[in-house]
Amino acid sequence: MLTDDDKRLMRVAYQEAKAGFDEGGCPIGSVLARNGTIISQGRNQRVQQGDPIAHGEMDALRKAGRQKTYRDTVLYTTLSPCMMCAGTIVQFGIPRVVIGDTKNFGGNEDFLRDRGVEVVLAEDPDCIALMRRFVTEQPELWAEDIAD
């Protein structure tokens, strides 16, 4: 179930995704929060930085810097995490992930759940529509991003 904080922070993640789209990149945004307060936010930077591991979740985590613990945080992401990002969520012990879109890409939700992560599916219409637009307009870039 989505809380008011979840809805608000997913909007911030969406705005990051939209900014990435407007820059010519993959529209995936992410926010790391603690008690409803943003620690950091980021977006997929693969195209902009030429960095194959600069996914939205990774960008937000990098910008968070060193944290003593992640066990009291929530990660918001506009698209279901890939295996690299899902593994990082597990490695860091992030206990809760809110996902904006599993329609355009999904599959690692059970991996996260099986490792004790609470997975909340927002299925946000804006996140879904933006990613659908990207996949339609830039299929080669999308295939590159998901290593297809």
Say how far apart CA 5 and CA 81 lie, in whole Å.
20
Q: Quickly count: other Cβ atoms within 10 Å of residue 91's Cβ.
A: 10
Catalytic residues: 57
DSSP string, 24-75: TS---EEEEEETTEEEEEEE--HHHHT-TT--HHHHHHHHH---S-STTEEE
Write the single-letter amino acid at 36.
G
Distance CA 96, CA 16 (A): 20
96-99 and 73-77 beta bridge pairing: parallel
Place of tokens 């490695």: 91
